[in-house]
Amino acid sequence: MSRFRRIARIGALAASLLICLPLHLLWSAAGRHSPWPRRFLGMAARSVGARVRIEGHPFHGDSFIIANHVSWVDILALGGATGSAFVAHDGIAGWPVIGWLAAQNNTLFVARDRRGALSSQLDALRAALAGHQPVALFPEGTTSDGSGLLPFKPSLLAVLLPPPRSVRIQPVHIDYGPATAEISWHSDEPAGANVKRLLERKGRLDVTLRFLEPFDPAICPDRKALAAMTRQRIAASIAHFHSGAAPCIAEPHES
């Protein structure tokens, strides 16, 4: 049955892509803003068994979303719910098919470890914010076991100081509930093994996106304070809903 579930979910993913991709390309060729990347991400989330529930109120103005990072399903769930463009490691740009599809959603690829690259990356991020599409960042820089938060990397948050226009930061707590430990991707697990495990998983995967209160980044004196404030709000939500969880001590996994 696990093999059947995997095949059925891959088939549903392929069908979602076949529906959305041609329409997206037509919209783009006509010079129109395409709603299809967001619709594809939402359909893809359902295809892999995820059922997304929203708590709180997504900010409807220009927003910079900052969230914890547990699984590759985070991108499907959050992108489908918000239409966000994501900030991702530039290595993903070279992944067959995945890198090209990510680019269709205006993904901003950044080189985290390249000296001297920060200035050009901030310029690219400012340009992305100017397009009025929500931008989402996982400032842990990698996935974890979901029981807590890894340190936030504040470098890219410099784009918000001073904030362009009236951009608001909205922290989001992505919560898989009791399934967190089962589906999280961390340590040395290969990507293919994690994907296979999730696609073969029995039953649906409940995902709650908790949209916490948005705030003006201008209240923070620098990017480190901004990272600390956002991390504190997400950590408080994790602690509230997972009061019995152990601290996050597992080795992270690059995503």
Of 211 and 89, the structure prediction assigns the larger pLDDT to: 211
pLDDT for res 116: 60
Q: What is the percentage of the chain residues whose pLDDT exceeds 70?
A: 92
Closest CA to 207 of 85, 71, 5: 71
234-252 per-position pLDDT tens digit: 999 999 987 654 444 334 4
**pLDDT (mean) for 198-221:** 95
- Which distant-in-sequence residues (6+ apart) come within 8 Å of 35 by Cβ? 27, 83
- Flag whether pLDDT at 8 surpasses 90: yes
Reading the block at residue 137, the tokens are 């960042």
The answer to whether 199 and 129 have CB atoms below 8 angstroms apart is no
- Flag whether pLDDT at 11 surpasses 90: yes
The answer to whether 176 and 183 have CB atoms below 8 angstroms apart is yes
Angle, CA 196 vertex, CA 190 and CA 198 arms, to 5°:
105
Angle, CA 229 vertex, CA 228 and CA 233 arms, to 5°:
115
> If you count them, how many residues does the chain have?
255
**pLDDT (mean) for 64-85:** 95
Q: pTM of this prediction?
A: 0.89
The answer to whether 145 and 91 have CB atoms below 8 angstroms apart is no
Beta-bridge partners for 208: 53, 175
40-53 per-position pLDDT tens digit: 999 999 999 999 99
121-153 per-position pLDDT tens digit: 788 888 787 777 899 999 998 888 877 899 999
99-126 per-position pLDDT tens digit: 999 999 999 888 766 656 667 778 888 8
